[in-house]
Structure 1
Amino acid sequence: MTLRTRVGLAGGAVVFVALAIASVVVYSTVRADLARRLDESLAQTVEQSPAIAVQLKQKIERSGQAIPIDTPVDFGSTLVQFVSGPVYPGSNRAFIDVTKRDADVARGREPAYLQDAVHDGVAYRVLTAQMPGSSSNLVRVARPLSDGVDVLAALAGLLIALTALGGVAAALGARLAARRVLRPVRVLTDAVEHVTATRDLSARVDLTGRDEIGRLGRSFATMMTALDASMHAQRQLVADASHELRTPLTSLTTNLELLAEDDGLRDPEAPVLVRAAIEQAGELRSLVNDLIDLARYGEDTARAEDTRLDLVAATVVGKASSRAGAPRFESALSPCLVHVDPDAIERAVGNLVDNAVKWSPPGGRVVITVADGEFAITDEGPGIPPADVPFVFDRFYRSTQARSMPGSGLGLAIVRRVVETHGGEVAAEPLARGVRMRLRLPVVRD
């Protein structure tokens, strides 16, 4: 069953239930109103009973007929029975039996009352009362209950028909309306099926509504854009990694093949080849580690905690300054609290420090500052050409002057990935002498 059909059936069911409830209310109201009108007409007939008795007496006198006074007389659809006093309980073959309550009503000891009774197979609504103007006579007024039954039966048939037809019409109307209402869902479904069949993540969904479906369509389009970008980045990463891995792997394989020849190990150049192979294996290890870190620090921030950025910087600087040939470090570290993954931020800060150390001249100076969520490091190296500034944080990007230096081209890419994952930003600022690198993170206010 399609969604449009289900919506149609649901709409029809709601309308059917609403009409059924309304029909029950209308039927009950009409039935109660008919019963009230019937009781009122019986009460009016009782008030007119003295005049009816006079008319009946005149009619008997003119006709010369002998009619028992307690025989019910038809006045249209109303039966009127007079019981002359004193009234005693007993059977009454002309109409329903006289009870003790009837006798008390005739004497004024009980009020008038209504009842349903059956006489000669006909159901009546009967009002028993003391005859107006009399202290001992009883009058009964009755009308067949079938007078209202026919009206109620016709009303019930009409209401049932309207309820059924209304439910069917509502279901058909809802199904037709659902075609237009659910059009965005159909567009979204077609887009999903297209992506599933073709793997084309560039497909777009044009939904501009402000309702939930419009929001879903925009979220889906955003997700598709992100997936497309992610797939493109993944393919680019594989291509770049393959290119970067091929060079040291080829050199390593060549050196090992030379060592594997007959006189390879006895060759005077063997130690040189071994050292070169070790260096190339180290480059491979460094590149693989950088790729792992790029993936590990890219998305997961579940280990984030409040961390002193100044203490992280002090730790990294302490390690770097202990290395042989390290430049002169000058630090101005103000206390600063950020909510980050400590290992990831230490790796990002370490990469910036390592980059400054690599490019600093012998005896050079490296200035490091931390204040208000910003870590900045300035070196006195050759700097960055203006044309290379927009690309220094890209994966595997290496400027012309950097290609002769060791490295994988992933260090600054890892820095940007870590910082942006934590909601921060990075920047490179060329100086007259050297370059200043900055990373900024959201500060936890105490």
Structure 2
Amino acid sequence: MLRARLTLVAVLTAVAAILVTLIASYRSVSPLVAEQVDRGLSDRADTVLALLDTGAPVPVRPDMTEQLLLPDGTVRVLTPGRNALPVTEIDRDIARSGTGSADTNIVVDGVEHGVVTKPRPGGGAVMVSQNYAEVVRVDNEFLWRTIWITAAAVCAAAVIGWLAIGRILRPIRRLATATRHVATTQDLSTLLPQSARGEVGELTDSFNTMLAALRLSRAQQQRLVEDASHELRTPLTSVRGSAELLQRAHGRLDPGDETRVITTLVQEAKALDALVGELVDLATNQHTTEEPATVDLPELAGARAERFRRRTGREITLTAAESAPVTARPQALARCIDNLLDNALKYSPPESPIHLHIVGPRLAVQDRGPGIAPTDQTAIFDRFYRADHTRSTPGSGLGLAIVHDIITAHHGTVFATNRPEGGAEVGFQLPQQNRRAQ
């Protein structure tokens, strides 16, 4: 569960931050406390020395013991009711010489004490000890309070993190619910819930854009199926009628009539094969798997023109005003040029030339045909569109639609217009900048 994992990460981060802070604080404060305790012992020893010189009694502190160490090693306890402190050889040397000082730790009755020894002017030394039990108690209390505060802080971080992360993830949960609904019902009309701002909002907008593209794709597929079924019906009906005629006649037809029926069958079968091939090409968009590359447009157009010259024997010329390599899928672009040449050859007189004119990333195929009516200059790129005066011409009405889809995928534009001297000019223009096709 994402919420639990994020909360765990937040809690662990908080724990790590608290522990680092506490350890760093403890390590910085502990030497200060120890220094303060040592200073307290030293100040107490100086106070006892001053009081001894004046003959005033030494005030009793419950956590401290004071004694006077004479030069001969004799010990006189200055704190009533206390046992004498252990004396080391170092302490005796200080008492005899009257110089130096010593700081030691001793254990009395299982309790650690700090002891400071300072020389007394005129002979001897003063020894002062402090019971560390209170210091240890305060230290332990600090540790336990730290543990409880840390635990409370961790619990608070967990609760706040759980609630805050839940609020942050709420738009994602709504988005996940909506996408599951779309996946289950296949209802692409569903609009995903909008988020005000941030990455989740951008993700939602991306999903809505994707759904819009899917809706458009589904609508185009449905229209393609409907148009294809309509276009396939005519050649299929012709093929079926001719086949049924041959079946019923069963050799009784006049040879000339039989030849005409068979010729019709072959022509309709070829038209049907070409139509099915273009439908498959249009529906699968097989050129999208091709990797874009840098293409020399005049070179590619020249190669396609030469291929058509050899195949048809028609005059096809090429002029290139500028050289501007483009980034495109080579085979897809070659298919576009082929379709434009095929369209020009189909709708122009057999003896008339075809001219390819290239200016930078713009390619135009010019013919000497009847031209294109203004109302048809945009519609000719629609699928299965056939102008009224071209309905008797062989073709499926898909060639220019394929050109439109391929060029649009390359972020380019298509155009169709009439030439002042007669004939049509149909072509495409790719982007000026080398932009990676998608």
2:387 maps to 1:399: yes
Matched, 1:339 2:327: yes
Q: Which moved more, 1:270-279 or 1:112-121?
A: 112-121
- What pairs with 1:226-237 in structure 2 (closer than 5 Å)? 226-237=213-224
The change in CA–CA distance for 1:217 and 1:153 in structure 2 (over 3 A counts) is: same
Q: Percent identity?
A: 33
- Could you tell me whether the CA contact under 8 Å between 1:8 and 1:175 is conserved in 2? yes
Confirm whether residue 167 of structure 1 aligns to residue 166 of structure 2.
no
Question: Match for residue 282 of structure 1?
Answer: 270
Please give the per-residue CA displacement for 1:384-439, whole angstroms capped at 9, x wherever unaligned: 22222222111112222222211011100111122222332211123453321121
| Residues 287 and 329, structure 2, Cα contact 8 Å, conserved in 1 | no
Correspondences of 1:198-217 after superposition (within 5 Å): 198-217=185-204
- The aligned length equals 425
The answer (yes or no) to whether the contact 1:96–1:117 under 8 Å persists in 2 is: no
Q: CA deviation at 1:319?
A: 3.4
Counterpart of 2:427? 438
**CA distance in structure 2 between the aligned counterparts of 1:148 and 1:323, rounded to whole angstroms:** 106
The 2-side partners of 1:324 and 1:120 are apart by 118
Corresponding position of 1:291: 279
Q: Deviations over 1:29-59 (max 9, x none)?
A: 554433222211110012122233356x666
Q: Deviations over 1:282-303 (max 9, x none)?
A: 0011112212333565652534
AA in 1 matched with 2:168: V
Query: Which residue of 372, 378, 393 corresponds with 1:390?
Result: 378
Distance 1:215 1:50, change over 3 A: same
For the residues of structure 2 that align with 1:315 and 1:38, how far apart are their CA atoms?
97
CA distance in 2, matches of 1:305, 1:121: 87
Q: 1:427 to 1:104 in 2, by over 3 A?
A: farther
TM-score with structure 1 setting the length: 0.85
Counterpart of 1:248?
Answer: 235
Q: Identify unmatched segments of 5+ residues in structure 1.
A: 60-71
Aligned equivalent of 1:222, options 191, 200, 209: 209
Distance 2:125 2:252 in 1: 142
SS in 1 for 2:84: coil
The worse-fitting range, judged by mean Cα deviation, of 151-160 and 260-269 is 260-269
Where do residues 81-100 of structure 1 align in structure 2 (5 Å cutoff)? Answer: 81-87=67-73, 94-100=83-89
Q: Is the 8 A contact 1:102 1:128 kept in 2?
A: yes
Q: Which residue in 2 is equivalent to 1:79?
A: 65
SS of residue in 2 equivalent to 1:368: strand
Q: Is the 8 A contact 1:301 1:340 kept in 2?
A: no
CA shift, 1:266, in A, is: 5.1
User: Counterpart of 1:105?
Assistant: 94
2:307 aligned with 1:319: yes
**AA at the equivalent of 1:11:** A
When residues 95 and 195 of structure 1 are mapped into structure 2, their CA distance, relative to the original with a 3 A threshold, is same
Question: 1:355, CA displacement in angstroms?
Answer: 0.9
Q: Deviations over 1:325-350 (max 9, x none)?
A: 74x54432344422333322222111
Aligned-residue offset at 1:315: 2.6
Residue 83 of structure 1 and its aligned partner are, at CA, apart by 0.8
Separation in structure 1 between the aligned mates of residue 199 and residue 395 of structure 2, nearest angstrom? 50
Counterpart secondary structure, 1:285:
helix
Equivalent position SS for 1:420: helix
Q: Secondary structure at the match of 2:381?
A: coil
C-alpha distance in structure 2 between counterparts of 1:421 and 1:217, whole Å: 24
Residue 1 of structure 2 corresponds to residue 12 of structure 1: no
Asked if 1:186 is matched to 2:186, the reply is no
Give the structure 2 partner of residue 364 of structure 1.
352
Matched, 1:409 2:397: yes
Question: In the alignment, is the contact (CA less than 8 A) between 2:188 and 2:211 conserved in 1?
Answer: yes
Shift of the 19–339 alpha-carbon distance from structure 1 to 2, 3 Å rule, reads closer
2:78 maps to none
Distance in 2, matches of 1:126 and 1:379, equals 114
Letter in 2 for 1:4: R
Match status 1:130 vs 2:130: no
1:45 is aligned to 44
**Length-normalised TM-score, structure 2:** 0.87
Residue 143 of structure 1 and its aligned partner are, at CA, apart by 0.9
Aligned CA distance change for structure 1 residues 265 and 20 (closer, same or farther; 3 Å):
farther
- Once the two structures are superposed, residues 255-302 of structure 1 have per-residue CA deviations (whole angstroms, 9 ceiling, x without a partner) of 122222352475432111111110011001111221233356565253
Change (3 A) 1:188 1:329: same
Distance 1:247 1:151 in 2: 100
Relative to 1, partners in 2 of residues 1:394 and 1:58: Cα closer, same or farther, differing over 3 Å? closer
Amino acid across the alignment from 1:202: S
Answer yes or no: is the 8 Å Cα contact 2:349–2:369 preserved in 1.
yes
For 1:17, give the aligned amino acid: A
Deviations 1:84-135 (A, max 9, x none): 004499xxx953433232233335597423222112343211112223x24x
Partner-residue secondary structure (3-state), 1:408? coil
- The amino acid across from 2:356 in the alignment is I
Q: For residue 36 of structure 1, what is the aligned residue in structure 2?
A: 35
Deviations 1:3-33 (A, max 9, x none): 3344334333333333333334444455443
Tell me what 2:259 maps to.
271
Distance 1:235 1:113 in 2: 100
Larger deviation: 293-302 or 223-232? 293-302
Secondary structure at the aligned position of 2:103 is classed as strand
